[in-house]
Amino acid sequence: MKAYKHVLCATDFSASSRLALEQACDLCQRYGARLTLLHVVEYFPEDRSNDEIAPEDSDPEAWRREKAMAALSEMIEALPCKEVGREVRFSCHSAKREILRFCEEHNADLIVLASHGHHGITAILGSTANGVVQNPGCDVLVVRAEQD
């Protein structure tokens, strides 16, 4: 197995994403690799969901970035990996496109992300994981969701 130098872990803050981050951290410790945790806010600001609307006196992008950075920090605090890069990206495109673009721009040699764990043909990996696996510029590890 090749020694990875830069591992990119994409997260949507789900329980499955936390498992993927644990795997990514473990791999980084084994290989002495750098770890970056990435969260993509899709289709901002045009299609933002109603449960993610910033208070009236706040800049919506800054508000979403602060919330996401706090969530990233919370995920990292529970890990033995403490030197973890944190990145929040806003995109008018899909998360898969932004993950692949980030990977290429930052020379990541492994992408780690979670499957949704849903059942059915279209949900085997989840649309983001499936899109990343279909068009990788590097190795991809999809961490299976825990089954109930």
DSSP of 4-43: PSEEEEE--SSHHHHHHHHHHHHHHHHHT-EEEEEEEEET
Residue 118, pLDDT above cutoff 90: no
pLDDT tens-digit series, residues 65-95: 888 888 888 888 888 886 788 888 888 778 8
Element (H, E) at 41: strand 34-42
Contacts of 62 (CB under 8 A, 6+ apart): 54
- The pLDDT of residue 128 is 83
Domains of the chain, with CATH numbers? 6-143 (3.40.50.620)
Q: What is the pTM of this model?
A: 0.80
Question: 11-48, pLDDT tens digit by residue?
Answer: 998 888 999 999 999 999 999 999 999 999 876 554 44
- CA 8 to chain centroid, in Å, comes to 8
